[in-house]
A and B are shown apart, each in its own frame.
Chain A
């Protein structure tokens, strides 16, 4: 839906909301997106510093190198160069797949492990895990990021069908990475109580050094890709609304506001992670709560915009697509809201 909207209107999602729904909904979306993105980038830095600490690299080095790396990706001032570098890091995330082959788990264990079974019924815990999966997988920045990237890339109406394949392929690769990661942890640490990914890696390393290293690289890479995309989502949104030049096809001199904003959001998040005793657990909790205030709005605006013939012309979605979209959006809103509520009230589903 975002590809369709971006390719036809040539506007990012933030600008589209301002234009269609007025400045009050526009400011709400822009400021909520920025806050959510900032807090999410902090959590990405937490993951990256934890992964690198396994290799003995201090957090300050990780933060500085990551910011330098992200900013240097755009030094050429060409969207295609940036996209190729990011695709290389996406390919690196497939490192979980060889890790599965290294531990060689029995096929029947994998097959039976992925068949949903609820020996204790649909308990609150099962429900919580379903909500957590959806609540942490679908985030509002993704809508803003994809629409802005479609505009920056210069996609036309004729490219929509290819972009649909692009999105589907990305979704499949994401699931392949996630499934591989689950197989590694379930095979090597069955039933283990793991607080976070880094703690899990520390338990895997003595069992299989190569697999532990691969998972640590995967964790770092996931955090890096998150920081790259999330910082861009906000920078594009501010550029669209404030009228700054905001394209990756511009170099720093041609779009200083766009790049400085991005640098500021990355540096700010990195500094918070480095502060001793920073309330990182509270921040992680807040990410969910604040994201859930924006997600329903962003999804609803998307659906309303795609129903406006004046905005999308012949690409207005039909009745069947509307019904499917309303059902999916409804489920996402309900589950992500319940997940955020469980973050505010931890005993809600206990």
Chain B
């Protein structure tokens, strides 16, 4: 008898193994773009947290 949750976790692990190493060449522009994206997402997260705190108050 298969367990769907266990199967799903195993599948996710398999996907993580398959795509563990990024194939794209990590040149300077790529690194800058990905760093910029991270900062952008952190900025949005802080904005949402700020809004949440304001709403709770």
Give the interface of A toward B (CB within 8 A): 18-23, 25-26, 241-242, 289, 292-293, 296-297, 300, 303-305, 307-308, 310-311, 333, 337, 340-341, 344-345
- 1/0 per residue B30-57: CB within 8 Å of A? 1001101100110010011001000000
Task: Tell whether A296 pairs with B19 under 8 Å between CB atoms, given A289-B48, A344-B48.
Answer: no
- Is A20's CB under 8 angstroms from B24's CB? yes
Using known A-B contacts A289-B48, A296-B40, A341-B47, determine if residue A20 contacts B11 with beta carbons closer than 8 Å.
Answer: no
With most chain B CB atoms within 10 A of its CB, the pick from A19, A23, A300 is A23
Option from B24, B40, B51 in Cβ contact (under 8 Å) with A304: B24
- Chain B min CB distance to A208 (Å): 43
Contact A297 B37, beta carbon cutoff 8 Å: yes
Residues on B with beta carbons closer than 8 Å to the beta carbon of A297: 37, 41
Count of inter-chain pairs, beta carbons less than 8 A: 60
**B6 in contact (CB, < 8 A):** no
Instruction: Judge whether B16 and A23 touch: CB under 8 Å.
Output: yes
User: Which residues of chain A come closer than 8 Å to B15, judged between CB atoms?
Assistant: 18, 23, 26, 241-242
Q: Are B51 and A345 in contact (CB under 8 A)?
A: yes
Given A242-B15, A292-B44; A20-B23 close (CB under 8 Å): yes
User: Given A241-B15, A242-B15, does the pair A20, B47 have CB atoms closer than 8 Å?
Assistant: no
Once the chains bind, are A304 and B48 in contact (CB under 8 Å)? no
Chain A nearest CB from B37 CB (Å) reads: 6
Chain A proximity mask over B1-39: 1 for CB below 8 Å, otherwise 0: 000000000010001101111111100011001101100
State A26–B12 Cα separation when bound (angstroms). 12
A308 touches B25 (CB 8 A): yes
| Chain B residues touching A, majority SS | helix
B29 CB contacts on chain A under 8 angstroms: 304, 307
Check B44–A19 contact: CB distance below 8 A. no
Residues in B lying within 8 Å of A, measured CB to CB: 11, 15-16, 18-25, 29-30, 33-34, 36-37, 40-41, 44, 47-48, 51
CA distance A148 to B33 in the complex (A): 24
Chain B residues contacting A340 (CB-CB under 8 Å) are 44
Secondary structure type dominating chain A contacts: helix
Cβ B47 vs Cβ A23 within 8 A: no
Are the CB atoms of A22 and B33 closer together than 8 Å?
no
Q: List 12 A-B contacts (CB under 8 A).
A: A18-B19, A22-B19, A22-B21, A23-B15, A23-B16, A23-B18, A242-B11, A289-B44, A304-B24, A333-B40, A344-B48, A344-B51
Compute how far the CA of A341 lies from the CA of B46 in the bound complex, rounded to whole angstroms: 12
Contact of A21 among B11, B34, B36, B41 (CB under 8 A): B34
Q: Cβ of A304 and Cβ of B19 under 8 Å apart? A: no
In the complex, A341→B19 CA distance in Å?
A: 34
B19 surroundings in chain A (CB, below 8 A): 18-19, 22-23, 26
Q: How distant is B46 from chain A, measured CB to nearest CB, in Å?
A: 12
Shortest CB distance A236–B (Å): 16
Residues on B with beta carbons closer than 8 Å to the beta carbon of A337: 44
Contact A296-B22, Cβ < 8 Å, known A242-B11, A344-B47, A345-B51: no
Pairwise interchain contact A304-B33, C-beta atoms closer than 8 A: yes
Residues of A within 8 A of B22 (CB): 20-22, 25
Determine the chain A residues whose CB is within 8 A of the CB of B40 once the complex forms: 296, 333
Complex CA gap A284/B19 in Å reads: 34
